[in-house]
Structure 1
């Protein structure tokens, strides 16, 4: 097959004069090479297309000779940035891997995701959206401190720090004002769940495959995952920028069968409720031992570097990196009725 790999690559200018985690959703050149080589290992011809302002023109030129797009493009700007490439592919009638325009737009908006989860009875933390630094907590929602403050339209720990968990109105106002000034978007304030955190990778469509569950391990008082740049990027980061330590994790998670089943079923329910396709990573967290797992967010374009959670979970299931990439491609091709050789 002739596969167009669509991506957004980290550029050196992005590493200065801006919050470092603004690159969190983008891929390093090394990650793009890993995906390209994995696609080629399956006998595919691969063309690389940067998902920038020129992507539409390039895809239009290549569409007659392109069988499918392998989409890992997170987009560069806008509240629906992950939907841009799928929208272009739909317009040009080019098959593509992964979830569609609506699913990607919904999953990037944490509030809309949670509203859909609530509709289907899937547990998720209580929340409120703040659109101005002067907005107050709604007494009717009965949100109680501690709370966690996140960017409304971002993933990959963008905007999170040790100051994200707030215990007072003053701390909430300060964190909200900072995020809105630095990132220029609304925030979502959630009930903070101070329990175990899990990540679940899911592959496929009609009969999705649930990969081994990963548990995130927190140390030294850290209570949430923070962004850490990929190792190949570190030499290009200014020396005065503090780098968060990498968090540790274990896969498969050390949990009993009842909790394992509950986490898997909750993740699958969320996957189906948001109409995810081909692949996704879902983050869940508990209030305390014995409590039900709550869905934090869905990542339909999950980090795909071999060192990231989804490939690690696949490896724990006996699925090599090359096989993982091939499976995602196969799932997408099958949906469009493409012949696989």
Structure 2
């Protein structure tokens, strides 16, 4: 029996990139990398920018599956996944509910807390919060603290507040992007991230990456463009702590219903090596500076093989209604 080629196995593939979110620039870089990798392996892959093309064209043009390289809103928040479910086109990464929960940092934390998983203390502020409410949050959580736009990624809409006088400016930065603001306890320590692959009992963690940015400032520039940020992979942790953090990453991933692939971000508190869950990315970056490819390389998996592995996991999340037939 002849073994099918990758092109035959995977069919016509759309690489979704660009989009309308604040992370468009990064998404374009991710998508271009994935597209080149898939084509290098003989896959019939085509770039597709939902900001410039109608999603219905995916069905009209006979795409068999898609690799989602979109980041942020309209790509990572469940809206795109819902459209692909309606079109019946298998896609990479988690399904509708898992993406919606994961994209909302506040909801992620609530789910993790319900599972007894560690995450920094937090409070939620409405966009019309008064100065007195801002002061109350600073008093309750202590300073410094973090203010975050709950539905953004790539460090967009995030402010570290070191003093009460900085609260208003930090809050104003966040409400440029969102209607609510997540105020989060600041955890001083080491920044770690853990890619996870698979679904259910088959979900497994890849090597941990430690991020060391200049002055601890892992902002948009240092994340995607700077050569000053250091990445250590596998992270220099003892075997027991490594296993504990990887296990927590898989638990956090499963708790939100994730499948396919994702990346779980942590802070490791310096005073006691206690890990705290920050957020999960359901369509992680795939650029030259991205962390999932770096972790995969440490596990002996090339960028090209990683793209193929992720694409092979593409599926539809929703099962057809039993007995349903068109009228």
TM-score (norm 1): 0.81
Query: Among residues 100, 105, 110, which one is paired with 2:105 in the alignment?
Result: 110
Matched, 1:190 2:179: no
Q: Give the Cα separation in 2 of the matches to 1:141 and 1:174.
A: 17
Regions of 4+ moved over 6 Å:
334-337
The CA deviation at 1:208 is: 2.1
The CA deviation at 1:169 is: 3.0
- Structure 1 SS opposite 2:189: coil
Corresponding residue number in structure 2 for 1:66: 63
Kept in 2: contact 1:24–1:157 (CA 8 A): no
- Structure 2 SS opposite 1:142: helix
The CA deviation at 1:246 is: 4.2
Q: Give the Cα separation in 1 of the matches to 2:137 and 2:33.
A: 49
The CA deviation at 1:66 is: 1.9
Query: Among residues 198, 203, 206, which one is paired with 2:197 in the alignment?
Result: 203
Kept in 2: contact 1:51–1:85 (CA 8 A): no
Corresponding residue number in structure 2 for 1:252: 234
RMSD value over aligned CA atoms? 2.8
Query: Among residues 3, 6, 27, which one is paired with 2:16 in the alignment?
Result: 6
TM-score (norm 2): 0.84
Q: Give the Cα separation in 2 of the matches to 1:317 and 1:105.
A: 30
The CA deviation at 1:34 is: 1.9
Q: Give the Cα separation in 2 of the matches to 1:25 and 1:263.
A: 31
Corresponding residue number in structure 2 for 1:27: 27
Query: Among residues 78, 91, 98, which one is paired with 2:93 in the alignment?
Result: 98
- Structure 2 SS opposite 1:196: strand
Q: Could you say if the C-alpha distance between residues 254 and 173 of structure 1 is closer, same or farther in structure 2, counting changes exceeding 3 Å?
A: same
Corresponding residue number in structure 2 for 1:225: 218
Q: Give the Cα separation in 2 of the matches to 1:223 and 1:115.
A: 27
Query: Among residues 289, 304, 307, which one is paired with 1:325 in the alignment?
Result: 307
The CA deviation at 1:288 is: 1.9
Residues 111-150 of structure 1: pairs in structure 2 closer than 5 A: 111-135=106-130, 136-137=133-134, 142-150=140-148
- Structure 2 SS opposite 1:183: coil
Q: Give the Cα separation in 1 of the matches to 2:139 and 2:57.
A: 48
Q: Could you say if the C-alpha distance between residues 277 and 146 of structure 1 is closer, same or farther in structure 2, counting changes exceeding 3 Å?
A: same
Q: Judge which range, 170-179 or 143-152, deviates more.
A: 170-179
The CA deviation at 1:41 is: 3.2
Matched, 1:51 2:42: no
Q: Give the Cα separation in 2 of the matches to 1:301 and 1:329.
A: 12
The CA deviation at 1:168 is: 3.2
Q: Could you say if the C-alpha distance between residues 142 and 99 of structure 1 is closer, same or farther in structure 2, counting changes exceeding 3 Å?
A: same
Q: Give the Cα separation in 2 of the matches to 1:69 and 1:165.
A: 37
Kept in 2: contact 1:51–1:75 (CA 8 A): no
Structure 2 spans left out of the alignment, 5+ residues: 1-10, 320-327
Corresponding residue number in structure 1 for 2:84: 89
- Structure 1 SS opposite 2:273: coil
Kept in 2: contact 1:214–1:253 (CA 8 A): yes
Kept in 1: contact 2:150–2:178 (CA 8 A): no
Corresponding residue number in structure 1 for 2:152: 154
Q: Could you say if the C-alpha distance between residues 246 and 106 of structure 1 is closer, same or farther in structure 2, counting changes exceeding 3 Å?
A: farther
The CA deviation at 1:145 is: 1.6
Query: Among residues 219, 237, 257, which one is paired with 1:275 in the alignment?
Result: 257
Q: Give the Cα separation in 1 of the matches to 2:298 and 2:187.
A: 27
Corresponding residue number in structure 2 for 1:288: 270
Q: Judge which range, 68-77 or 199-208, deviates more.
A: 68-77
Kept in 2: contact 1:82–1:105 (CA 8 A): yes
